[in-house]
Chains A and B, each alone.
Chain A
Amino acid sequence: MTPPPIVLRVKQKRIAELVSSGKRLDGRELTDYREIQVETGVIERAEGSARVRLGKTEVMAGIKIETGTPFPDVPNQGVLTVNAELVPLASPTFEPGPPNENAVELARIVDRGIRESKAIELEKLCVEPGKKVFIVFVDVYVLNHDGNLIDASAMAALAALLNTKMFNYEVEGGEVKIKPGYTPLPIRNHPIPVTFAKINGKLILDPWLEEEQVMDARLTMTLDKDGKICAIQKGGYGYFTTQQILEAANIAREKTEELRKIVVKG
C-alpha cells in the first residue's frame, strides 16, 4: 500500500489563505474551471470514445456494445454498465489491482448521472424481450490524475456516448445479424456533474490535486439538460451546511450549462 502523499504544510496554509480571499494558487476564481479539451472518436475500434483534458487531468472513455440477457425486472431494456480504472500510470498513488473504493465510487457516480437522467434510451436497445438485449459498456480510463476525476470522467463518458455508433442489425432465428451501416446510440439527455471542494468554509469548483489533498469535503451534483438534479454525492471526512448545499445547487445550475455546451459540441 503506498502511503497517501503528504502535502506541504506551507502549501496547505497558502491554499487556505488564498481561498479565504477569494483566489486560488493558479490564479483562478473560486468557481472557475481549468481549461477543458474534449476529443471524440479517439479509439476507432471502440463503438464510441472520447478523451477529456481538464487542466492536466486526463481521462479516456471507451464504449463497447455487446449482446446479453436483460435483468429479469426490466426484460425490455438494454443494460448500462460503467466501470472505472485508476490505472497505475496515472498517479504514483494508484496501485495495480482490482478497482478500489475510489475507483468503484467514481464509476458509480458516473453511472448514476447517466442512469437517473435516463440519458440512454434503453428501451430501444431490446432485441428480444426477456431474452436478448444490448449491453452498453462504459469504461472510464484515468490517464493522468491532477484532481477532479469525477467531472472529467463523467464528461468523457458523456462525450463518448454521444460519439457512439451502433451497427445496424436484424434478428434472424433469435440471433443478431449485423447489417451494413450505423446509427448513433439513442441519447435523450446530457447529464453533467460539477464538483465542489470545501476549503476554509468556502466552496470552490473543480479542485486540482493539491486542493483535493487539503479540502475538508467534496460535493458533486449532476444536473440534466433541463436543469434538474439527477445525482448527488458527498465525499470526504468533513461536512456541509444546508446553506452551502443550496448555494452549490444554484452555482451548479449555471455551471453545468456552460460545461454541457463544451461537451455536447466537442
Chain B
Amino acid sequence: MSKRKTKKKKLDTLQKKPEKLIDKDDIRLDGRKLNELRPVKIEVGVLGNADGSAYIEQGKNKILAAVYGPKEVHPRHLALPDRAVLRCRYHMAPFSVDERKSPAPSRREVELSKVIREALEPSIFVEYYPRTSIDIFIEVLQADGGTRCAGITTASLALADAGIPMRNLVAACAAGKVEGHLVLDLMDTEDKVGEADVPLALMPNLNAITLLQMDGSLTIEEFEKVINLALEGCKQLYTLQKEALKSKYVVAKEDAEE
C-alpha cells in the first residue's frame, strides 16, 4: 500500500459565540453560581498495570492519571544520586477536543507537563528514593477547560494510590474573570471568552501554593479576590479527594464485617 496524505481543513461550525455567558441573575451557562465548582466524580485505583491510578470527571472533563514507580531509572545516566527523578507527561487524546488534535505532543502539552510536575514535586518525599524515577502520566480523555488543574488533582491521588509517601495531597482549581464577574472553575467557553484565568494548586494542610499561572488582565485587588476564590475551590476538592481515597477501604470494611 502506497503512503498517502490527505489535507485536513478546519470545520466551519455552527458554534457561534454565545450571546452572554452570565445572565442577569449571575447564573452561568451551565446553571452554576459564580463561586460554584462543577460537579465532580472521583475514583481511585482504576487501572490494573499502573502502581497507582485515579480518574476524575469534573463537569465535562474526563481525566485519567497513573503513576509508575519508584523504580530504577533507565537510562542510568538520568538518575540523581540523592533523590528520585520525577517525570510527568500531560497528554490529550485526539478525540478529547472539538477539533481532532494530533496525538503528537504540542508545545502547550510540553509546558503543562512541566508546570504540573513542579506542582506535584513539593508534595513528594523524593529524597527517600535516590537513583529511582517516579513517572506520572495524565491522559485527558475529554476536555472542557481547567484540565491542568483537574490533572493535578487526579495525579496526586494516583501518587497516594501508589503508596508513595507525600507531605500532603495536592488539589488544584482555577478562578478568573468572565464578563466582569469573578468566577470559580472556568469551563472552556468561559476561559476562551473571559478576561482572566488563574489556575492554582495547593497543599491544603501546609498552605503551600505549588502552581500559579495567569492569562489575561486583572487589577491587583481583583487578583487577590480571584486567588481566594481558587483557594476555596481547592479546599472543596481536597475534601472530595480524601473521600475518594477513603471510600475504597470503607466499603470493603463494611461489607466484610456484615
> 8 Å CB contacts to A: which residues of B33-63?
47-50, 53, 60, 62
Q: Considering the chains assembled together, what is the distance between the CA atoms of A3 and B96 in angstroms? A: 31
Contact yes or no, A146 B48, CB < 8 A: yes
The DSSP consensus for interface residues of chain B is loop
> Which of A87-95, A189-197, A227-235, A249-257 participates in binding chain B?
A87-95
> Which of B86-94, B198-206, B227-235 participates in binding chain A?
B86-94
Q: Considering the chains assembled together, what is the distance between the CA atoms of A91 and B95 in angstroms? A: 21
Contact yes or no, B48 A56, CB < 8 A: yes
Q: Considering the chains assembled together, what is the distance between the CA atoms of A176 and B91 in angstroms? A: 30
Residue among B8, B91, B100 facing the most chain A CB atoms (10 A cut-off): B100
Closest to B93 in A: A141
The DSSP consensus for interface residues of chain A is strand
With contacts A43-B95, A45-B60, A139-B94 known, is A67 near B11, CB below 8 A?
Answer: yes
Closest to A160 in B: B95
Contact yes or no, A68 B8, CB < 8 A: yes
B6 at interface (Cβ–Cβ under 8 A)?
Answer: yes
> 8 Å CB contacts to B: which residues of A98-139?
98-99, 132, 135, 137, 139
**CB-contact partner of A144 in B8, B13, B48, B143, under 8 A:** B48
Contact yes or no, A178 B9, CB < 8 A: no
Contact yes or no, B103 A178, CB < 8 A: no
Closest to B4 in A: A71
Closest to A2 in B: B74
A85 at interface (Cβ–Cβ under 8 A)?
Answer: yes
> 8 Å CB contacts to B: which residues of A20-40?
none
**CB-contact partner of A45 in B9, B12, B97, under 8 A:** B97
Closest to B15 in A: A178
A15 at interface (Cβ–Cβ under 8 A)?
Answer: no
Contact yes or no, B9 A67, CB < 8 A: yes
Contact yes or no, A89 B64, CB < 8 A: yes
| B203 smallest CB distance to A (angstroms) | 24
Contact yes or no, A66 B48, CB < 8 A: no
**CB-contact partner of A89 in B47, B97, B99, B103, under 8 A:** B47
Contact yes or no, B139 A176, CB < 8 A: no
Contacts of A42 in B (CB 8 A): 62, 141
Q: Mark B127-161, 1 if CB is under 8 A from A, else 0.
A: 00000000101010111100000000000000000
Contact yes or no, A143 B95, CB < 8 A: no
**CB-contact partner of B141 in A43, A63, A79, A178, under 8 A:** A43
Contact yes or no, A62 B9, CB < 8 A: no
| B253 smallest CB distance to A (angstroms) | 25
> 8 Å CB contacts to A: which residues of B60-85?
60, 62, 64-66, 68, 74
Contacts of B6 in A (CB 8 A): 68-71, 79, 81, 135
With contacts A43-B95, A137-B94, A143-B47 known, is A177 near B7, CB below 8 A?
Answer: no
**CB-contact partner of A64 in B7, B12, B53, B100, under 8 A:** B100
Q: Considering the chains assembled together, what is the distance between the CA atoms of A1 and B9 in angstroms? A: 36
Q: Considering the chains assembled together, what is the distance between the CA atoms of A99 and B105 in angstroms? A: 12
B252 at interface (Cβ–Cβ under 8 A)?
Answer: no
Contacts of B7 in A (CB 8 A): 68-69
Contact yes or no, B95 A45, CB < 8 A: yes
**CB-contact partner of A178 in B12, B139, B142, under 8 A:** B12
Q: A141-B139, A167-B14 are in contact. List 15 more A-B contacts (CB 8 A).
A: A44-B60, A46-B95, A46-B96, A58-B48, A60-B141, A62-B94, A64-B99, A66-B10, A66-B99, A88-B68, A89-B64, A90-B49, A96-B91, A96-B137, A141-B93
> What are the 4 A-B residue pairs with the smallest beta carbon separation, nearest first?
A62-B95, A89-B66, A64-B100, A89-B137
